[in-house]
Structure 1
């Protein structure tokens, strides 16, 4: 059995439901699952769809991390039956450009599926105008990529409600995240911070898409999913730190730019060419140990994530 198969078996063992398991045992298995996500990552095959319409291993891991139990398919069908929501036009426009050039994604997730899920979400939340925000299409897409449609709907709804409530309430948490990134830059890399100040650059101008999407706007999707795995395991607040990690990794290139703006939004959205393993290593080993306690509390709280 190869290394990938062994890793897959480790996950399957932890995810296997055992009758009569007590709360202590369940919590222990969940903690082991989180550690496995952080230290070993998921196998390369984790995003592949299962047989008979089942979701992927990664999707199953996400559901476990979000505490998703039985899915009420009939409830989702009822929401879909209500038709277009008040935010339908905005949703349709955004969905048309969500991972539109990502062949693996588009072959598995038709546009109408993402439109359905997002409209159902607006209906679930009272069909009030401005319920849908632009970043939601990019955040919802990975769930449909990894799960069946009803599973993706419930998981995404729980994700928004419990993990990033401040991000989807008028972008309040996203703006806080941008301000926190600025504070972190000033504390951890004064030279880079000063360079940005010369051009009056703040994270709202170059990192808003990255922070609001928890880094999911960075392609390839298959690589960015690895960072979302860790955020689901250890907290959505890590998203802003992963965005900072890309800046720190690219600082040499940014500092060398002369006579023009040293960074633009597209640079952040391409991830500067660094992969998830590099970003994760930089963030965990170089950035987090340097953040003072008071500022780290601010980092942890800015998404509004509900505690255990």
Structure 2
């Protein structure tokens, strides 16, 4: 890393930390409008600068928890779920976990298969208890192992990974993990609308060009289509 690049990364890390510090006192001294404004700045900073994890490895876990609104994490509840042992779909989980990012040496060095199994077992037990009170039910479905992997890789503890993963699945994309795959089908329906055809002109997956094109395209999307795209992973339709 050149000195100029390093200086830029250090400055970005400082900006991130300054914004994240606002959330520590949000409940006491800041209004919800202040918190929302901080979140907007945080999202823009992620788009413009990326997260300088090489300067401060704590940034990404902190940012994920803020964006997922993960605050209360009960260690007792998590340990109770883990203590129950194998869930009813343990065999299905095991059929997937052993091959999760199998060729990624860095991932394998940090995240064991047992960690994945524990998290996914606990998730099933958590929703076994909550099922009667929720409009949507959750259990393990194929692919959740891959969704859980980044949380275990990034978060400092299995406890934090568990609650971030649960929040992501249950609130950010619940319709994508239902047996009917409602979110997937609705997403495909959205993708057939003409503005989405522009997305096929994306360059190879290089972050900065993709971000630039995405930001430009979003401004041109009709409001109703943008709303559908944002809401389709979680908005339950009558």
TM bracket (short chain): 0.7 to 0.9
Q: Distance in 1 between matches of 2:85 and 2:91?
A: 12
State the Cα distance separating 1:304 from its structure 2 match.
Answer: 1.5
Q: Report the counterpart of residue 83 of structure 2 in structure 1.
A: 81
Q: Tell me how far 1:7 sits from its aligned partner.
A: 1.0
Q: Partner residue of 2:211?
A: 280
* Residue 45 of structure 1, CA deviation: 1.8
Q: Please, which runs of 5 or more residues in structure 1 have no aligned partner?
A: 49-55, 190-243, 251-272
Q: Counterparts of 2:14 and 2:222 in 1: how far apart (Å)?
A: 39
Which of 21, 26, 42 lines up with 2:29 in the alignment?
21
Question: For 1:99, what is the secondary structure of its paired residue?
Answer: coil
1:294 equivalenced with 2:224 (yes/no): yes
Provide TM-score, normalisation by structure 2: 0.81
Residue 149 of structure 2, aligned match among 138, 141, 161: 141
Is the deviation greater in 162-171 or in 276-285?
276-285
Gaps spanning 5+ residues in structure 2: where?
1-5, 132-136
Displacement of 1:130 in angstroms is: 7.5
Q: Counterpart in 2 of 1:31?
A: 40
Matches within 5 A, 1:1-308: 2-16=7-21, 17-18=24-25, 20-23=28-31, 24-45=33-54, 48=57, 56-126=58-128, 131-147=139-155, 148-170=157-179, 171-181=181-191, 183-184=192-193, 186-187=194-195, 189=197, 245=199, 247-249=200-202, 273-285=204-216, 287-304=217-234
> Would the aligned equivalents of 2:82 and 2:122 in 1 still touch at CA under 8 Å?
yes
SS in 1 for 2:29: coil
Note the C-alpha offset of 1:38.
2.2
Q: 1:175 to 1:6 in 2, by over 3 A?
A: same
Offset from partner CA, 1:3-51 (integer Å, 9 cap, x none): 1111111111221223832224333322322221222221142784xxx
Q: Partner of 2:175: helix, strand, or coil?
A: coil
CA offsets 1:107-165 (integer angstroms, 9 cap, x no match): 11111101110110001011789811112111111111111110111111111121112
Question: Residue 204 of structure 1 aligns with which residue?
Answer: none
Aligned residues: 219
Change (3 A) 1:110 1:2: same
TM-score normalised over the length of structure 1: 0.64
Q: Deviation digits for residues 64-94 of structure 1, max 9, x if unmatched?
A: 1111113211111110011111111111121
Contact 2:9 2:55 in 1 (8 A): no
Cα distance in 2 for partners of 1:151, 1:169 equals 24
